[in-house]
């Protein structure tokens, strides 16, 4: 069965600083990996996804993530954080079939300070 | 951009009562899902629905839960007799059929409070 671990519950960064949110997954085959963001009172918005090919994927809002099979990781990065990036970030893994329910991590809450 | 819409945004109910959470998926999407998020915990899969039947469900989705697509646009989650532990944010999601790798599109959720 798939599982996702986000080891950081809460991260605080200064505006303009770089960001890396960690995600480790467990899945026997090639995973489909996603990062979603949830702003307060909002639903889950897809930031980016990885299925195959280039292991560095670009997403919306200046985010990127790198798939590292050897480390079973899919860490999310942003070179310069904006105050509007403060939100909850969820990593998710899906099976490599069409109609696949996602398994989510517990999320990492990002706070941005001036 | 088309959105998944959910109503109501917040529902308060008494223990033992039935609730129906409503969702309008994106119009050309054919796979539908319900997820829930208990406060402070992870987002958990409940059920997926395709071609007017449940295609997969989790162990959370017991006999107290049911889903229905009563017409061409709505997708509902019913909890027959609510328990305190059903208090959570419930998210509806949909996915288009033609692209098997298309991501889920989530609604803004319904916060269910059982008292």
Token output for B91: 């998210």
Q: How far apart are CA B75 and CA A53, in angstroms?
A: 35
pLDDT at A98: 55
Phi-psi label, residue A61: left if phi above 0, alpha if psi -120 to 50, beta otherwise: left
A43-98 confidence digits (pLDDT tens)? 889 999 998 888 999 999 999 999 999 999 999 999 999 999 999 999 999 876 65
- In this complex, is the C-beta atom of B1 within 8 Å of any C-beta atom belonging to chain A? no
B51-100 confidence digits (pLDDT tens)? 889 999 999 999 999 999 988 789 999 999 999 999 999 999 998 865 66
The size of the A-B interface in CB pairs under 8 A is 54
Residue A37 has a CB neighbour count (10 Å cut-off) of: 22
pLDDT at B73: 87
Token output for B46: 């409940």
| Percent of chain B with pLDDT strictly greater than 70 | 94
Chain B residue numbers with beta carbons less than 8 Å from the beta carbon of A43 are 4, 6, 91, 106-109
Q: How far apart are CA A19 and CA A77, in angstroms?
A: 5
Closest approach of A46 to chain B, Cα-based (Å) = 8
Give the residues across from A37 on adjacent strands: A45, A89
Residue among B31, B42, B105 whose CB faces A104 most closely: B42
User: Quick one: A72 exposed, middle or buried, by C-beta within 10 A (0-12, 13-18, 19+)?
Assistant: middle
Chain A residue numbers with beta carbons less than 8 Å from the beta carbon of B67 are none
**A110 and A13 in contact (C-beta within 8 Å)?**
yes
Residues in chain A: 114
A2-42 confidence digits (pLDDT tens)? 789 999 999 999 999 999 999 999 987 778 899 999 988 78
Chain B residue numbers with beta carbons less than 8 Å from the beta carbon of A32 are 101
């Amino acid at each position: 069965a798939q599982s996702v671990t986000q080891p950081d519950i809460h991260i605080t960064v200064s505006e303009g600083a770089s960001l890396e949110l960690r995600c480790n997954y467990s899945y026997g085959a090639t995973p489909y990996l996603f990062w979603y963001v949830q702003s307060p009172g909002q639903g889950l918005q897809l930031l980016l996804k990885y299925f195959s090919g280039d292991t560095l994927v670009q997403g919306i809002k200046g985010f990127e993530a790198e798939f590292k099979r050897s480390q079973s990781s899919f860490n999310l990065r942003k070179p310069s954080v904006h105050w509007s990036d403060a939100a909850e970030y969820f990593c998710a893994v899906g099976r490599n079939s069409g109609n696949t329910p996602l398994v989510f991590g517990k999320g990492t809450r990002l706070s941005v300070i001036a | 951009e088309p959105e998944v819409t959910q109503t109501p945004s917040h529902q308060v109910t008494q223990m033992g009562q039935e609730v129906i959470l409503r969702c309008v998926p994106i119009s050309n999407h054919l796979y539908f899902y319900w997820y829930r998020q208990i406060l402070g915990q992870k987002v958990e899969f409940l059920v997926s629905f395709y071609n007017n039947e449940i295609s997969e469900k989790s162990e959370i989705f017991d006999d107290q839960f049911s889903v229905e697509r009563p017409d061409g646009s709505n997708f509902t989650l019913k909890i027959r007799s609510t328990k305190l532990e059903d208090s959570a944010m419930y998210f509806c999601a949909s996915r288009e059929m033609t692209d098997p790798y298309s991501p889920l599109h989530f609604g803004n959720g319904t916060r269910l409070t059982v008292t």
